[in-house]
Amino acid sequence: MEIADGWDEVEIGRSRGGLPLTLYRPAGAGTIDGLLIAGIHGEEPETLLLARRLLERIDGTDTSWAILPCANPDGVLHGVRQNAAGVDLNRNFPSASWQAGHSFTYPPGTQVRQREHRTNRSSPGETPGSEPETQALVALIESLHPEVILDLHSPLELIAPTPAADPELVARLAAAADLPVQPNIGSPTPGALRDWCTDHDIGAITYEVEHAALPQLVARHLPGLSALVTH
């Protein structure tokens, strides 16, 4: 399906591997209320497809949200978590929590993630914010000043808001998909986008879908996500 009418395509930067980072924003819109990010982890391409479904089904004139459906095109292209430099972008943000050296990507023992191309060790980059994708995202958030950021992931099946996220909005999202709200994912995520948002008092919601086929994910999650971006 084609992208619906009423969206402007904007290149906000390039990946480490030279691929465009494409933002969709409502044509001619002034204020952007929300920013939806998907595909920051390249081995979670179902998140990109969910974002794409929103762009196909929602006209740009019916929303004040901007959508970045693929924050890590290098990783999606190669079916791996990291960008072309081997960096987990969601451990590369210049948050107070950023740490050199490897970190756990997800709680040890989370068997659902033990797949061939998933590793439980993440490279955070040489320095905080070293990667062009991270820099583009930080610049985007600082220029748009969205009231809320929704970051799509899989497969932990939960919603993890930062303290500044609107609790009513979080509750609506959780109810729509029958997802638990779990502000603490269970292990530290140094250099994560959500940590950086917490540092800057930005309302951000990590939205983790389950490991499932796309039709099932669309049926469960698209109604709540559509309501969110057209509210």
Instruction: Kindly list the residues in this chain that would bind Zn ion in the complex (CB under 5 A).
Output: 41, 153
State which residue, 158 or 202, has the beta carbon closest to Zn ion: 158
Question: Per the residue annotation, which of 2, 43, 208, 210 is the catalytic one?
Answer: 208
Query: In angstroms, how far apart are the furthest CA atoms of the chain?
Result: 47
Q: Based on the number of CB atoms within 10 Å of its own CB, is 167 exposed (0-12), middle (13-18) or buried (19 or more)?
A: exposed
215: helix, strand or coil: helix
Angle (CA) 188-88-26 rounded to 5° is 100
State which residue, 76 or 148, has the beta carbon closest to Zn ion: 76
17/227 Cα distance (integer angstroms): 35
Work out how close the CB of 208 gets to Zn ion at its nearest, in angstroms, rounded to a whole number. 7
Choose among 37, 32, 131: nearest CA to 86.
131
State which residue, 32 or 70, has the beta carbon closest to Zn ion: 70
State which residue, 52 or 153, has the beta carbon closest to Zn ion: 153
Choose among 31, 47, 64: nearest CA to 218.
47
For residue 108, the one-letter residue type is P
User: Cβ(193)–Cβ(22) under 8 Å?
Assistant: no
Question: Residues in the chain, how many?
Answer: 231
11 is catalytic: no
Tokens of 83: 């960008």
State which residue, 32 or 38, has the beta carbon closest to Zn ion: 38
Work out how close the CB of 61 gets to Zn ion at its nearest, in angstroms, rounded to a whole number. 31
148/166 Cα distance (integer angstroms): 8
Tokens of 142: 């600082």
Tokens of 112: 């659902």
Work out how close the CB of 154 gets to Zn ion at its nearest, in angstroms, rounded to a whole number. 7
Work out how close the CB of 29 gets to Zn ion at its nearest, in angstroms, rounded to a whole number. 28
Reading phi first (left if > 0) and then psi (alpha if -120 to 50, else beta), residue 170 is in alpha
Work out how close the CB of 88 gets to Zn ion at its nearest, in angstroms, rounded to a whole number. 9
For the annotated catalytic residues, the residue numbers are 208
